[in-house]
């Protein structure tokens, strides 16, 4: 039989071992999560501003402003309006510049059904994401 002292020492040792394993796991998890956040925000958070200055029956005018000081490439625009979906790509958006593109999509002349997502890749790596929905798309 084990004495109470030996059982206490074994229990403390087991607790320390489990704690060490868990701390290694959580430190590794935290480093991976921080790396993903840094990759996404490498361009900067909120540097693309999206608006829709004009809506016609068969097209909308999308304006994207690069408010940052970094060049953004392969800017992908996804538009959903009234159940209709389409997309477009702007190859290059220079720092502090504005891109305006007319996107063909059947859309009623109001902002209640619009949902636009914009994703771009920074020259230095990483991505930036911006979105506008409904009345928030109105300039």
pLDDT tens figures, 97-129: 888 888 888 887 677 888 888 888 887 777 888
CB 48 within 8 A of CB 128: yes
Same domain, 36 and 66: no
Same domain, 118 and 56: yes
* 3-state SS class at 30: helix
Same domain, 82 and 123: yes
Same domain, 25 and 54: no
The tens digit of pLDDT for each residue in 56-65 reads 878 888 888 8
Tokens matching residue 22: 């868990």
Same domain, 77 and 120: yes
* 3-state SS class at 64: strand
Range of the domain at 96: 48-137
Is the model's pTM score more than 0.85?
A: no
């Amino acid at each position: 039989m084990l004495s109470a002292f030996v059982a206490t020492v074994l229990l403390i040792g087991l607790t320390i071992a489990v704690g060490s394993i868990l701390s290694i796991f959580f430190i590794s998890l935290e480093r991976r999560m921080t790396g993903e956040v840094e990759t996404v925000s490498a361009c900067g958070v909120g540097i693309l501003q999206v608006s829709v200055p004009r809506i016609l029956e068969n097209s909308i005018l999308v304006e994207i402003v690069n408010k940052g000081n970094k060049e953004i490439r392969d800017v992908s625009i996804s538009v959903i309006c009234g159940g209709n979906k389409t997309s477009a790509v702007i190859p290059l958006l220079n720092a502090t510049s504005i891109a305006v593109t007319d996107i063909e999509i059947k859309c009623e002349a109001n902002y209640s059904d619009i949902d636009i997502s914009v994703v771009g890749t920074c020259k230095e790596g990483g991505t930036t994401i911006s979105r506008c929905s409904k009345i928030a798309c109105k300039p």
